[in-house]
Amino acid sequence: MEQVMQFVSNHPVLSIAWVGLLIAVIFMTLKTATSKVKDISNSDLTRLINSEDAVVVDTRTIDDFRKGHIVGAINLTPTDIKNGTLAVLDKHKERPVVVLCANGTSSKEPAEALVKEGFTQVFTLKNGLSGWSGENLPLVRGK
């Protein structure tokens, strides 16, 4: 314990940074654990599509969507979801909805917005479309 106190007194900036990072990790862990939106794998998505008729919402730009997307995916930008432009999704509120982006980093916020809009089963695809295509899973081009 004496060495820890000596380190803290000799390196206050590093110590404060370490405490800040620790608090951030704890906060993010708690937020993820209590979120109604869960990350799923590619195999989980395939199972949801095949057995529960899941709806896939692709939040990438229309140009990226046309370059390749999961079969049956609906293209809605995060702005569309945030603004409540969800007419195309309203009939699917009771079905599983899987939100994905390019690499799995920006789909959480639109997914949480869908939960607030009353969707009961909302998921995000871990690693996004890059993870999907990285496993050579099928994509539709165009449209």
The pairing of strands 121-125 and 74-75 is unpaired
pLDDT tens digits along 10-64: 999 999 999 999 999 999 888 777 788 999 999 999 999 999 999 999 999 999 9
Indicate if the pLDDT at residue 143 is higher than 70: no
The pairing of strands 38-40 and 55-58 is unpaired
Under 8 Å between Cβ of 56 and 74: yes
pTM score, whole prediction: 0.79
Indicate if the pLDDT at residue 97 is higher than 80: yes
Q: Round the average pLDDT of the chain to a whole number and report it.
A: 91
Determine the Cα–Cα distance for residues 73 and 12; give it in Å rounded to an integer. 51
Share of the chain above pLDDT 90, in %: 73
Under 8 Å between Cβ of 138 and 73: no
Between 34 and 113, residue with greater pLDDT: 113
